[in-house]
Chain A
Amino acid sequence: MALRKDLSIDYLGVKCENPFFLSSSPVGGNYDMVAKSYEAGWAGVFFKTVGIFVADECSPRFDNNGKEGLPWVGFKNMEQISDKPTELNFEYMARLKRDYPDKVLVSTIMGSDEDEWKQLAKMSEQAGADLIEGNFSCPQMTSHAMGSDVGSSPDLVKRYCEAVTSVTKLPFIAKMTPNITNMNIPARAAVQGGAKGISAINTIKSITHIDPEHMTAMPVVDGKSSISGYSGAAIRPIALRFAAQLAQDEELKGVELSGIGGIETWRDALEFLLLGCRNLQVTTAIMQYGYRIVEDLISGLSHFMDERGYGRVEELLGRALPNIIPAEELNRDFRILPAFDYRKCVGCGRCYVSCFDGAHQAIDWDEKKRRPVLNDNCVGCHLCLNVCPVQACVTPGELRFKEGRQQGPVTMKTQYE
């Protein structure tokens, strides 16, 4: 029957039935939502950020960015932290912990000064939270004493982490903003302040569209708009980059990472696991498709592990890290020429167009047969492979060493989907 592997994994000393959590966001803002997500199979929730500050939201507050008929490649959100009374949020959390004791409840908090951070931490503990996350990263707060303005200041991050960890024994996680050149600096500050885990990334400051009708950004709020956070599939590559840099930082050794950013499928989840994230958070895909996506996250990861002989999720963690190296250390002694499968080629000529206009004029176009022919200019960049619309038509072919370079074994990827 349907394959289900044991996907359980410990995160900051808490046993999680799988690594899949809701991130602190609109998808986990009250009792009913979180309860439904638990029933669907999510292992835990980072509850929508609670502050002493209660948000006053605008309307509308979302926009999305697509490409060629595919919407939601990226998603823009102007919501801030919870717009519900502070006490009500902790009441929800207490009920959730009581009704779902085996699910993991993370209380995500945001204060505007040390006292608020302390107060919120204590309230989290009283509500029965398993873990506490500090939100140092919301990019659309109406107060500059909170959010990503704090997260880009290592001093403030450290000070607030110290405030929280001075009043609670619960492991504390600092959620980082990507709106910064080097995330490792505030991450180290958080750890110095007592944080045991780092979550990354929160949303990226963005303008998705300018509306030519009202001469402002989207969404249009009474004729105006603001810069706010961008999320979804489009930001996954950026999130993965930050995850790799955090995971490879010697000073952050032993700090447990939670990966966030554009996770929709088990493949996306796997990528974060392979970079060492032992916890995974999702929002945008849930906003688009619902909690049910966890079914295929669980099933797909189970099948992958079964196929490759992995017993535990733990065994996947950080497997790709040793192979992500500085650009100056890459082997640059060879080029791999593309191979064209003429039985599969449909004769669209896109490889020819792209190679001429965007690469090295290494493809000639046989006008009679309407097929590409590789010439000696090819540098092995594989733009043709990337642009070809037919599966397995252009594939990596012959390996050639540059003149005078050391020849040796080269690992080549041959299977592309």
Chain B
Amino acid sequence: MSKVAKARYAAAAVPGFTHRTAMEEAARCLLCHDAPCSAACPAGTDPGRFIRSIRFRNPKGAAETVRENNVIGGSCAWVCPYDNFCEEACSRCGIDRPIEIGRLQRYVVEQEQVQKMKILKPPAKKKGVKVACVGAGPASLACAAELAKAGYAVTIFEAEEKAGGVLTYGITPARLPQGVVDQDVAAIRGLGVRFALHTRVGADISLDALREQGFAAFFLGAGLWKAQLPDIEGTDLAGVYAASGFLKTARESRGRTGLAGKRAVVVGGGDVAMDCATTAKLTGAAHVAVYYRRTLEEAPANMREIQYALSLGISIVTNFAPVRCVGADGKLQYVEFKGRDGNSSAQVAADAAVFAIGQAPQDMRQLADLSLTEKGTVKTRSGGKTNLPDVFAAGDVANGGKTVVEAVAEGKKAAAAICKRLDALHEGRGK
């Protein structure tokens, strides 16, 4: 008989390490000469270095390595798909199984907080030049931190009430507690970065107005927040949600999704779909099923997330695509699916249907006259350069939706490109 895990909404999905268990795990590390884990981290977090510090009883030094290399190292420790990056590269795989790098990073970031460390400080040398970052998600946070370290006066403009973007509003808290995101944001504030919350650039304030205020460059890390619903009948019924709105509401209401004892259907096969399903389950839904139009092998979701969903008793049905949502009195009653084989069909009773069928950016032309791709993402070249010389973009809004760690890497690269441009302008002025 399968034993289904029971958990509260926002209860950590994986327990953390203690000093002792962290040391036991660090003692398994082979302390490679040219650590392949470090080479495999897009954000340059340097796990080889911080694990060595744990091994040599220096957790504070380990915390410095993480925070200095990856300013949102706390959040990454929780949500990074390690098995595709550092843990896959781990030399220990040649012996038995990789070091649990993600969990060790989580321990290190916990130590930063327990020991009340303030690792990042504003640089002594200021440039006296203002840069604006639009959106307070991973790419923006990473970019802002690098710019602040270089001496720029950075303001992050965020439409929502809290900073963090997808970290705060798009991931179930069992996988990423808000406290971890807040700790990352506090580290960035510690660099002197300012946050203008509740301020949607393009609506509340225009890019031109910011230019007039003296902002010399702009970074767009606006993410993918357009509510995406399929073009089928019945999506206007009460109980039909787009994934981004569903996850955001769940987090903002601390898990009061109103699904207690009810049936939920999630449509999609990515990490977001798994997050929606686990959120539905953890907030009390009696029955949750994920429907995906292709096979499990084709599903973009990380296997760990799929396994986590299964462990909670969520079923996953493959090769079924939604045809229509059917309801009565404006309320959803069931979702109808058609099989990929052309023969099967299903009518699945549901109080809620959540569509996690890919993400898209909001209309970026409201912001500026940007060149966009067909999907609406911002067209960029190396370093996040756009068609506008003072505007740079990276993260999901440019790459169409990749991992948090890749957004950090791109944000850092964009910061370097912004520094290069501003330095060149500054030199030109000096001449």
Chain A residues with CB under 8 Å of chain B are: 1-3, 70, 264-267, 289-290, 292-293, 295-297, 299-300, 303, 307, 389-392, 417
Contact = CB atoms under 8 A, between A and B. Distances in A.
Given A296-B56, A299-B60, A391-B21, 7 more contacts: A2-B64, A265-B57, A266-B56, A266-B57, A296-B53, A296-B61, A303-B58
Contacts of A299: 53, 58, 60-61, 64
A391 to B, nearest CB: 4
Contacts of A297: 56
Complex A-B, nearest 4 residue pairs according to Cβ-Cβ distance, in ascending order: A300-B58, A299-B61, A296-B56, A303-B60
Nearest to B60: A303
26 contacts: A1-B64, A1-B120, A2-B64, A2-B65, A2-B68, A3-B60, A70-B27, A264-B56, A265-B57, A266-B58, A289-B31, A295-B61, A296-B56, A296-B58, A296-B61, A297-B56, A299-B53, A299-B58, A299-B64, A300-B60, A300-B61, A303-B58, A303-B60, A303-B61, A307-B115, A391-B18
Given A70-B27, A391-B18, A391-B20, A3 B64 contact: yes
B60 A292 contact: no
Contacts of A292: 52
Contacts of A307: 115
B113 to A, nearest CB: 15
Interface string B36-70: 00000000000000001100111011001100100
B121 A300 contact: no
A1 B64 CA distance: 7
Contacts of B65: 2
B56 A265 contact: yes
Interface of B: 18-21, 27, 31, 33, 52-53, 56-58, 60-61, 64-65, 68, 115, 119-121
A1 B60 CA distance: 12
Contacts of B57: 265-267, 296, 300
Nearest to A288: B31
Contacts of B61: 2, 295-296, 299-300, 303
Contacts of A265: 56-58
B48 to A, nearest CB: 10
A294 to B, nearest CB: 10
Contacts of A1: 64, 68, 119-121
A346 to B, nearest CB: 12
A219 B68 CA distance: 45
Instruction: Pick from B31, B33, B115, B120 the residue with the most CB of A within 10 Å.
Output: B31
Residue of A2, A264, A289 with most partner-chain B CB within 10 A: A2
A296 B60 CA distance: 10
A1 B122 CA distance: 10
Contacts of B115: 307
A415 to B, nearest CB: 11
A267 B19 CA distance: 15
B220 to A, nearest CB: 29
B150 to A, nearest CB: 13
A169 B115 CA distance: 48
Contacts of B31: 289
A256 B33 CA distance: 36
B261 to A, nearest CB: 31
A2 B21 CA distance: 25
Contacts of A300: 53, 56-58, 60-61
A307 B59 CA distance: 13
Greatest chain A CB density within 10 A among B27, B33, B58, B68 is at B58
B19 A391 contact: yes
Contacts of A303: 58, 60-61
A296 B18 contact: no
A303 B68 CA distance: 16
Contacts of B21: 391
A299 B64 CA distance: 10
A2 B57 CA distance: 16
A150 B53 CA distance: 40
Nearest to A289: B31
Given A70-B27, A292-B52, A417 B58 contact: no
Contacts of A389: 20
Nearest to A417: B19
A95 to B, nearest CB: 26
B192 to A, nearest CB: 14
Contacts of A390: 20
A289 B56 CA distance: 11
Contacts of B53: 296, 299-300
B392 to A, nearest CB: 25
Contacts of A295: 52, 61
A299 B62 CA distance: 10
Contacts of B64: 1-3, 299
A296 B52 contact: yes
Contacts of A3: 60, 64
Nearest to A267: B57
Contacts of B58: 265-266, 296, 299-300, 303
A293 B52 CA distance: 8
A303 B59 CA distance: 10
Contacts of B60: 3, 299-300, 303
Nearest to A299: B61
B60 to A, nearest CB: 4
A296 to B, nearest CB: 4
B32 to A, nearest CB: 11
A299 B50 CA distance: 12
A392 B18 CA distance: 10
A264 B31 CA distance: 14
Max chain A C-beta neighbours (<10 A), residue from B21, B31, B61, B64: B61
Nearest to B120: A1
Nearest to B21: A391
A293 B19 contact: no
Contacts of A391: 18-21
A409 to B, nearest CB: 29
A389 B31 CA distance: 25
A387 to B, nearest CB: 13
A348 to B, nearest CB: 14
Contacts of B119: 1-2
A73 B58 CA distance: 20
B73 to A, nearest CB: 14
Contacts of B18: 391-392
Contacts of A296: 52-53, 56-58, 61
Given A3-B64, A70-B27, A296-B61, A417 B56 contact: no
Contacts of A293: 56
- The listed residue with most B CB atoms (<10 A of its CB), out of A70, A303, A307, A417, is A303
Specify which of B18, B19, B56 lies most central, judged by the most chain A CB atoms within 10 Å of its CB.
B56
A388 to B, nearest CB: 10
Question: Of A290, A292, A300, A417, which is in contact with the most chain B CB atoms at under 10 Å from its CB?
Answer: A300
A389 B65 CA distance: 29
B117 to A, nearest CB: 9
A392 B20 CA distance: 10
Contacts of B52: 292, 295-296
Contacts of B33: 290
A267 B53 CA distance: 12
A247 B308 CA distance: 58
A259 to B, nearest CB: 18
Nearest to B64: A2
Nearest to B17: A391
A88 B33 CA distance: 30
Nearest to B58: A300
Contacts of A392: 18
